[in-house]
Structure 1
Amino acid sequence: MATEPSDPLLLPDAAAWRAWLDAHEDDTPEGVWVVLARKARPAPTSLTRDEALEEALCSGWIDAQARSRDTDTSLQRYCPRRRRSSWSARNREIVDRLVAEGRMRARGQAEVDRAREDGRWEAAYGGAATLEVPPVWSRALAASPRATAAWELLTAQNRSAILHRLATVVRDETRERHAARFVAMLERGETPHPQRRGTLPAE
């Protein structure tokens, strides 16, 4: 089982997460692990996955790895959006709503403007059904029964995130490295996006 990251950020609610991002959006380049509430449980935090993602997008951040924690909470890493990183159709739809609601911060709006200018906004990728499984990923899974078992249980959102990352890499060597990294992630029980506790194979 994956060990819990040291010193994850535990905040009381979405307002506190927004305030933290306002204070640290430019001085935490590697991102931060955040404790999230499962469903609508008020303790030790009421911050939900949807709320955390919305505030992250407002500040030009995105969600990264997810981990289980306990019956009441989960862990999610958030980090500043990297230059030229792709947009998902889902996040684009969320941002359209956030813009309409007047919630975007300057940094978040700047990321949207750059994506519109360079074509990434229009090229936002859809679900896993629109992406092919590359041979390198098939080979990587075949070498790891544990990762294969986890892959078969992934949500469409998590499959899409992995397949899109592999599909957009230019160099074969880089694609091989990404495939190995994703296999290791699945073997540890981690996922790109949060997934209900207990749905991945246990050690």
Structure 2
Amino acid sequence: MAVTRAGARSTNKPRTASKPKNPVSSQATTFTSRSKRVAQTPNDLPILPFPNAAAFESYLQEHHATIPGLHLKHVKKSFSIPSISNTEALEVALCFGWINGQGNSCPEEPDYYLARYTPRRPKSTWSQINVKLAERLIEEGRMRPAGQAAIDAAKADGRWERAYSAPTNMTVPADFQAALDANAAAKSFFDTLGKSERYLVLLKIELASLAARQNRIQALIDNLAVGKVPGSNTATRTLAPPASRVRKARTKPR
């Protein structure tokens, strides 16, 4: 069986002897539809397709505690190939104490895209969306022991209660608004930010512990005052002078 890596180009160089089969690769062969290959990513997580939620659930039932994760291979909506949906996959993952992560394109197969799924780390944050979803899964009797253990751990150390808001529900907290009002440059720049950049800023405040919250807010104000969005790839912007200065400059005689 030919093995490729995500993002790598295929070559005609001789292959070294393959390693003994493992449960991940054998399961991948079972669910492969259009391609009979099992691709490997640079971090050695396998790429696996599942035709429906039941198939993914069966796989995690057997392997959720023994593998470091996988890249789930989704079919794009424009194609009629049987494939588990994003929502179905997330529900199954939460039941076994796993979580979804960064998505990516599928190498050499434009009909598909990849979504990373891994066991939840001990101190990973929860979103309010996933908290509500997990509560529904418990009510429906679908939560498994591994998933319940992840929930119990989050409740025990406060991460469950501190679950962060979705972008559509994120609002400017009063203490941050007060800090903005006290710094004209920071407030002026914050008001120019788009939805995604504002979310990056506000999320950092939501994720801060109570002990670190004020220091986090001050650091954000300092960055905003010089045109920086912490966590964004956007370069520092040149801030326009306050409107009052512009008006004064225009009233000076020439």
User: Is TM more than 0.5 here?
Assistant: yes
**2:94 and 2:147 in contact (8 A); partners too:** yes
> Residue 123 of structure 1 aligns to which amino acid in structure 2?
R
Using the TM superposition, name which of 64-73 and 48-57 deviates more: 64-73
Matches of 2:99 and 2:205, distance apart in 1: 14
State how 1:186-201 maps to structure 2 within 5 Å: none
> Residue 76 of structure 2 aligns to which amino acid in structure 1?
R
| Residue 60 in structure 1 maps to residue 97 in structure 2 | yes
Matches of 1:22 and 1:53, distance apart in 2: 15
Q: CA deviation at 1:166?
A: 10
Q: CA deviation at 1:59?
A: 0.4
| Residue 112 in structure 1 maps to residue 151 in structure 2 | yes
State how 1:45-194 maps to structure 2 within 5 Å: 45-69=82-106, 72-128=111-167, 129-130=170-171, 163-164=203-204, 168=208
| Unaligned stretches of 5+ residues in structure 2 | 1-5, 9-38, 41-45, 174-193, 217-229, 235-254
Determine which structure has greater relative contact order: mean sequence separation of CA pairs < 8 Å that are 6+ residues apart, divided by chain length. 1
| Residue 8 in structure 1 maps to residue 12 in structure 2 | no
Q: TM-score w.r.t. structure 1 length?
A: 0.62
Q: CA deviation at 1:14?
A: 1.1
| Residue 35 in structure 1 maps to residue 39 in structure 2 | no
Q: CA deviation at 1:72?
A: 3.4
Q: In the comparison of the two structures, how many residue pairs are matched?
A: 155
Pick the structure with greater CA Rg: 2
Matches of 1:52 and 1:26, distance apart in 2: 17
In structure 2, the partner of 1:139 is none
Matches of 1:58 and 1:124, distance apart in 2: 18
Percent identical pairs in the alignment equals 37
Q: TM-score w.r.t. structure 2 length?
A: 0.50
- Residues 1:105 and 1:72: Cα distance change in structure 2 (over 3 Å): same
- Residues 1:41 and 1:50: Cα distance change in structure 2 (over 3 Å): farther
> Residue 13 of structure 1 aligns to which amino acid in structure 2?
N
RMSD over aligned Cα atoms:
3.8
Q: CA deviation at 1:39?
A: 3.2
